[in-house]
Structure 1
């Protein structure tokens, strides 16, 4: 039988770890666990997002086949949350596959370092 693992954290490369930790602290409410120029982290006591400094990291464009991952976050009001996150420094790409004529399913955003994340509705 294969040893089962528990996810501890996801690490994001970025030019400014402290800045990105502050952004994710604001959108998740998670505590800033560590914040230095080279490395920072936010977490909820169970899971963390780490940020490691890679000065020359270049964000991917969206959409493109270069996307390797994205994060998904559930919120009570997708459109309101997206507006708030843009005010905090996220950007909203033009291509939005979750927005249909029937309404908003989810919204794709890019954090201040260019990582993609989706703002998804809470389940009813």
Structure 2
């Protein structure tokens, strides 16, 4: 039998861990657990996102084959959340696979350092 692992956190490589912790704190409400030049973290004891300093990290192109992962966040109002996240420093790439003729399904954004995340509507 394989030893089961418990997920501790997802860690993002980034140039500015403190800035990234502040951004994700603002959009998720997760507490900033620590914030230093080399490492920072947000979390609530169950869900944790860590940020490790990698000064020369380059974001992947979107769309492109180098995308390794992304976050999906549920919000009550997608358009309002997108507007707020853009004000916080996120960017909205041109390619939007979740936007349909009937309206918005989900919106792809990039955080201030280019990590992708989706803003998804609540389930109906």
Q: Give the TM bin, normalised by the shorter chain.
A: over 0.9
Consecutive unaligned residues in structure 2, runs of 5 or more: none
Query: What is the match of residue 104 of structure 1?
Result: 104
| CA distance, structure 2, for counterparts of residue 84 and residue 3 of structure 1 | 42
Query: What is the match of residue 63 of structure 2?
Result: 63
Query: What is the match of residue 119 of structure 1?
Result: 119
Query: What is the match of residue 27 of structure 1?
Result: 27
Give the 5 Å matches for 1:1-80: 1-80=1-80
Give the aligned length.
124
State TM-score, norm by structure 1: 0.97
Q: CA RMSD in A?
A: 0.8
Give the 5 Å matches for 1:81-100: 81-100=81-100
| CA distance, structure 2, for counterparts of residue 85 and residue 44 of structure 1 | 21
State TM-score, norm by structure 2: 0.97
| CA distance, structure 1, for counterparts of residue 119 and residue 6 of structure 2 | 24
Consecutive unaligned residues in structure 1, runs of 5 or more: none
Structure 1 segments of 4 or more deviating over 2 A?
A: 1-6
| CA distance, structure 2, for counterparts of residue 99 and residue 7 of structure 1 | 32
| CA distance, structure 2, for counterparts of residue 87 and residue 5 of structure 1 | 38
